[in-house]
Structure 1
Amino acid sequence: MTGNEGYRVGQIGDNVNVYGGTGNIGQIKNTYNGPQDPQAVYREMIGLIQVLRGQVSAADREVIDESLETVHEGDAAPPGAVRRALGAIAGVAAVVGEVGLPVVEAVRRFLALLGG
């Protein structure tokens, strides 16, 4: 082998290839390998939900708002209510497509920390 064949000289950071589509924005990285602080994961999830809320229809915003009320109740909510509310939010996020993927992943991480 001569020269720098097979090596990317000067490459720093990630190499991302986009093979199609339109409106490609950002990159999702899943680097949640170790134990997580539930409060930090909760705050991140709520922040992502708020961002999504501004990008969906009025009907979907209503579902998110009603569900967030239940999520904010935490332990004071009836048994299973928070999980159902997070499921409703994740459902909206999944239906709207790529823009909702960070919310779906954040809900999964949070539920995993809660044990379910």
Structure 2
Amino acid sequence: MSVTIRKTAGHAAEITWSPKDDPHGYLAHAMESDRLAYALESLGGGETETTPELALQATRHTSALARELERRAAAQVVALRDKHGLSWRQIASVVLEDPERQSGVRRMYESGRRHLGL
């Protein structure tokens, strides 16, 4: 993986990637729109927004990034099945942490195919 996150000091980090890592501009958009920053803040469990408007903005950005990640995960499920030939059981074991949840990964697969235009 050529996207790298390097801890620089204390609680600081540096994220780097090359243009080939982001052919559709998803990484750049997540950074420029503050979606990534709000999502990371949310992961940290902090609630620093002081007004309802700022809290709504943070939630909007976090939710938008979460939806994009869901679409990207569904596309990865398509690749796992179609390109790599993995079984539903194998995919469910990794993606949903339960090999019995094969119907769940099948739904992700269908969603991914729709998103990819297949």
Q: Same fold (TM over 0.5)?
A: no
Query: How does the TM-score come out when normalised to structure 2?
Result: 0.27
Choose between structure 1 and 2: higher strand proportion: 2
Select the structure of larger CA radius of gyration: 1
TM-score normalised per structure 1: 0.27
Which structure would you say has the larger RCO, counting Cα contacts within 8 Å and 6 or more residues apart? 1
